[in-house]
Amino acid sequence: MKKSIFVVFLIMFMVFSAFGAGTSEQAGPPTVAFSPGDMANPSQAFAAKMFQKYGPDYGLNVIILDGKGDAQVQAQTVTNAIAQGVKAIYVNPNDVNAIIPSLQQAKQAGLIVGMFSSDVPAASASVRNFFVGVNDLMAGETAAEAFKAAFPNGAKVIEIGGQAGHDAQIKRHDGFNKGIAGSNITVLEYQATQQWATEQAMAIAEDMITKYGEEIDGIFCHWDNGVTGVANAVEAAHLSKDLFIVGVDGNMAGFQQVRDGIQDVTVMQNFEAQAKKTLELTKTILDGGTVDAINFVPLDVVTLKNIDTFTPPEW
Amino acid sequence: MNKALMKAVKEYLVLLLVLGLVLITAVIEPKFITSGNMTNIMRQFGPLIMVAMGMTFVIIGGYIDLSVAGIMSLVAVVTLSLIDPIGQVGAIFVGLLIGAAAGFLNSLVITRSGAMTQAEGLFISYGMSVLYGGTALLYTGGVTNHLSYIESNYSLFTLIGSGTVGIFSVSFIIFLFLLLILYIFQNFTYTGRAICLTGGNKTAANLTGINVNRTIIIIWTISGFMAGVSSIVLFSRVTTASPVLGKGFELNAILAVVVGGTSLKGGKGSVARTVLGAMLVILLSNSMNLLGVTVYMQNVMKGLLLILAIWLDNLKGRR
C-alpha cells in the first residue's frame, strides 16, 4: 500500500516537472524574478510590490523569490529561478560575495542578471548585466553635507549604524566619514546595531546621551525607523538644546518625523524609481539593445522646506 | 574550605560577574553610575526580562521556546492596529489574549504531536515563530506602523513606554508586579512544583500522578502571555510596531535564563534568578556601549557568556 502511494506521488512529480519545465516557453509575457534579501524588511517588501506593480507596464510578469535574510537561501532562489526558466533575475543580496557563484550559473544559463540596491564587488562585475540602486556611499556623504551645512562652525555628532556587516551599513558609514573628512564635524562615537531594529538604535542613543550629554550637537542614524528610537531617547533625556538628526531612507516614518520637526533631514532612496529603471533595462536588453552597467538612481534630500515637493512614500 | 569556596563561586558566579562588570565600568566610565543611566537600564531591562521570565518556565519544563519572537511581532502589529477601532484598553486586552493564545496553540501542537523531547519542542516552536512572524508580515504588508499615526487616544501606551512613578519607570513596576505573581506561582503552588518535576523527568512525573500534558500547556501559555506583555512594553517604548519587532529577543531571553542559572536540561531553575541573568545581559550591552566596544565584540562576549553558563551548569550536575 505504502509502495503504491509512493509510486503515485513519483509519477505525479514527474508529470508536474515535465509540464513545469515547459512553462517559460508558453505564450504570455516573459517572466522575470526578483529576489529581495528579506521580505521581512519593509523597504524590500515595498520594492517587491513596485516590481509587481510596474512589471506589466514593461510587458513582464514578475515573481518574487524571498532570500529570507539568509545568503544560502538566497543563492537557492537564484538556482530555482534558473530551473523555472525565467528571463531575468534581480537580486538585492544578503551577502554580495556569497551570491556570486549562483549568479554566475544564472548568467551561463542565459538569464539577464541585475543587481538591485547593492552591487557585487568590481572584480566580479562580469556576473551581472547591470546594477541599479542608490549609492550608499553617497547617502553617507549626503548626510555629512547636511551636517556641514547646519554647523558651519563645527559640531560633535554621534553616528548610529545599521545592521553590523550589512553592505548599506558599511557604505553609509564610509561615505559619512569621507564626507566629514577635513571638516570640523567630529564623530564622538560610532556604534552599529545587531539588526535594523528601532529598539537597538534607541538603546544606543540612550547610552550615548548618558556618556556625552550636552556635548552632542547631532545624531546621524543610518535609517529612518531607527531615528524613531533615537528621537524617543532624545526626548526622554530632556536635553537643554535641540539635536540635529539625520536619517536615510525617506520612508513614511522619515517623512512624518521631518514634518513633525523631530528629524531634520531624511536622505531619500526612491525604490519605485529603482524598480522601474530595472524593468526598463531588462526590456531594452530583451529587445536587443545595450545598457549601462552601473545605473545610480539619484538620492533626494528631504527637509521641512522642500518636503511638499515629494510624493509621500508608501513604506 | 577550597571546596566550599568553589561551590560558592559556581553558585553565585552570575552575581559576581554582574558586580565585577559594574565595578569595572564605573571605574573606566563614571557616568555609568549616574541616575540617568540607571533609568536607562531600567527601561532597557523591561522587555527582555518579561519574555525571559516566561521562557524560564518553558526551560524548567524541559523545552526551549523560539516562538516568542514571532509572537512579539504579531502582538505588536495587531495591538497597534486595534487602538483606533476598539480603543487602547481593548487593544491591550486583545494583544495579551493573542500572546496567551499563541502560547496555548504551541502547547497543543506539542502535546498532540507527542513531542516530548527538547529538540522536538525547539523545532516546533521555531516553526510556530515563522508562522506568527509571517502572519504579522501578511497582516501589515511588511509596513512598520507608528503610534504617532494613531488618531485615537494612546496615552496608556505612552505611560507604559516612558512614564515614571517616582524614580521607577512604569515598565519596571509592571515587571515587579509580574515577578511577584510568577514567583508565588513557582514556589507556592502545586502546579509550580509540578513544572520542575515534569521538566526533570516526564515519565516519572506522569507516574507520580502529575498531569504532564496540562503542565506543558500551562508553561507554554505563560511564555506566550509574557511575550505578549513584553511586546506591548517594547512597542510602547519605541513607539513603533514593526512586523519584525521581536527578532533576536528569543536568543537574548534564553541567554538571560541560562546565565541566571536555570538548567537547560530542565527540572530546576528560578524566575528570580532569571532577573539576575537578564540584568547581566542588559548591563553587558549598556557597559560595552559606554566603553565604546564594537557590536562584533559584544556578540563574542554574549556567546562566551552563554557557553560559560552551560559549562557551569554541567559542572554542577556532575557534583
Contact yes or no for A208 and B289 at CB 8 A? yes
- Residue carrying the nine cell digits 551561463: A108
pLDDT of residue A96: 86
Q: Which domain holds residue B183?
A: 29-312
- Mean pLDDT lowest among A101-110, B100-109, B238-247: B238-247
pLDDT of residue B313: 79
- Using CB atoms, which residue from A193, A208, A252 is nearest to B295? A193
Whether B319 shows a pLDDT value over 60: the answer reads no
Q: What is the DSSP string of chain B?
A: -HHHHHHHHHHHHHHHHHHHHHHHHHHH-GGGGSHHHHHHHHHHHHHHHHHHHHHHHHHHTT----THHHHHHHHHHHHHHHHHHH-HHHHHHHHHHHHHHHHHHHHHHHHHHT--SHHHHHHHHHHHHHHHHHHHHHHHTT--EEGGG--S--HHHHHHHH-EETTEEHHHHHHHHHHHHHHHHHHHSHHHHHHHHHHH-HHHHHHTT--HHHHHHHHHHHHHHHHHHHHHHHHHHHSEE-TTTTTTHHHHHHHHHHHTT--TTSS---HHHHHHHHHHHHHHHHHHHHTT--HHHHHHHHHHHHHHHHHHHHHHHH-
Contact yes or no for B31 and A210 at CB 8 A? yes
Strand partners, A186: A156
Q: Is A65 on the interface with B (CB under 8 A)?
A: no
Residue B281 in domain? yes
- Residue carrying the nine cell digits 545592521: A163
CA angle A76, A81, A86 (to 5 degrees): 170
**Domain A2-133+271-297 homologous superfamily, CATH:** Response regulator (3.40.50.2300)
Contact yes or no for A164 and B296 at CB 8 A? yes
Whether B146 shows a pLDDT value over 50: the answer reads yes
- Residue carrying the nine cell digits 558609514: A173
More confident residue, B235 or A4: B235
Nearest-by-CA chain B residue for A236: B162
Whether A17 shows a pLDDT value over 60: the answer reads no
pLDDT band at residue A13 under the 50/70/90 scheme? low
pLDDT of residue A228: 95
Q: Which contacts of B137-140 are long-range, i.e. CB under 8 A and separated by 24 or more positions?
A: B137/A39, B137/A40, B137/A45, B137/B243, B137/B244, B139/B74, B139/B77, B139/B78, B139/B81, B139/B243, B140/B77, B140/B81, B140/B243
Contact yes or no for B142 and A211 at CB 8 A? no
pLDDT in tens, A34-86: 999 988 777 888 899 999 999 999 999 999 999 988 889 999 999 999 999 99
pLDDT band at residue A6 under the 50/70/90 scheme? low
Nearest-by-CA chain A residue for B45: A203
CB B291 within 8 A of CB B25: yes
| CA-based nearest residue to A151, from A221, A211, A219 | A219
E strand spans, A203-252: 218-221, 244-249
pLDDT of residue A25: 46
What are the extents of the domains in chain A?
2-133+271-297, 136-268
CA angle B304, A94, A290 (to 5 degrees): 160
**pTM, two decimal places:** 0.82
Q: Which residues of B touch A232 (CB under 8 A)?
A: 161-162, 237-239
Contact yes or no for A199 and B143 at CB 8 A? no
Q: Is B162 on the interface with A (CB under 8 A)?
A: yes
pLDDT of residue A304: 96
Whether A2 shows a pLDDT value over 70: the answer reads no
Residue B22 in domain? no
pLDDT band at residue A22 under the 50/70/90 scheme? very low
Question: Could you tell me the three cell numbers for B79?
Answer: 495591538
Whether A26 shows a pLDDT value over 70: the answer reads no
Q: Is A131 on the interface with B (CB under 8 A)?
A: no
Q: Which residues of B touch A199 (CB under 8 A)?
A: 47, 234, 237-238, 245
Q: Distance (Å, rounded) from C-alpha A277 to C-alpha A272?
A: 9
pLDDT band at residue B13 under the 50/70/90 scheme? confident
More confident residue, B316 or A69: A69
Q: Is B31 on the interface with A (CB under 8 A)?
A: yes
Q: Tell me the average pLDDT across B240-257.
A: 90
Contact yes or no for B29 and A225 at CB 8 A? no
Q: Is A52 on the interface with B (CB under 8 A)?
A: no
Whether B127 shows a pLDDT value over 60: the answer reads yes
Q: Tell me the average pLDDT across B234-260.
A: 91
Contact yes or no for A207 and B290 at CB 8 A? yes
Q: Distance (Å, rounded) from C-alpha B196 to C-alpha B61?
A: 6
Q: Tell me the average pLDDT across B106-133.
A: 94
Q: Tell me the average pLDDT across B79-103.
A: 97
pLDDT band at residue A15 under the 50/70/90 scheme? low
Contact yes or no for A253 and B146 at CB 8 A? yes
The C-alpha of A22 sits at a distance from chain B's nearest C-alpha, in angstroms, of 31
pLDDT of residue A20: 47
> What distances in angstroms separate CA B10 from CA B14, B15, B179, B279, one per listed residue?
8, 10, 25, 18
Residue B24 in domain? no
pLDDT in tens, A113-130: 999 988 898 899 999 999
CB B263 within 8 A of CB B196: no
Q: Tell me the average pLDDT across A252-273.
A: 93
Contact yes or no for B290 and A206 at CB 8 A? no
Q: Is B35 on the interface with A (CB under 8 A)?
A: no
Residue B157 in domain? yes
Nearest-by-CA chain B residue for A41: B142
pLDDT in tens, A146-205: 999 999 999 999 999 999 988 889 999 999 999 999 999 999 999 999 888 999 999 999
Residue B61 in domain? yes
- Using CB atoms, which residue from A40, A210, A229 is nearest to B40? A210
Query: Structurally, what CATH architecture does the domain formed by A136-268 represent?
Result: 3-Layer(aba) Sandwich (3.40)
Length of chain A: 315
User: Percent of chain B, pLDDT > 90?
Assistant: 61
pLDDT of residue B44: 85
pLDDT of residue A82: 94
CATH number at residue B176: 1.10.3470
Contact yes or no for A232 and B237 at CB 8 A? yes
Residue B134 in domain? yes
Average pLDDT of the residues of chain B: 91
Q: Distance (Å, rounded) from C-alpha B156 to C-alpha B297?
A: 38
pLDDT band at residue B133 under the 50/70/90 scheme? very high
Residue A109, helix vs strand vs coil: coil
The C-alpha of A198 sits at a distance from chain B's nearest C-alpha, in angstroms, of 7
Nearest-by-CA chain A residue for B141: A45
Whether A24 shows a pLDDT value over 50: the answer reads no
Number of domains into which chain B is organized: 1
pLDDT of residue B318: 60
pLDDT band at residue A21 under the 50/70/90 scheme? very low
Q: Is A275 on the interface with B (CB under 8 A)?
A: no
pLDDT band at residue B1 under the 50/70/90 scheme? low
pLDDT of residue A14: 61
- Residue carrying the nine cell digits 519544563: B61
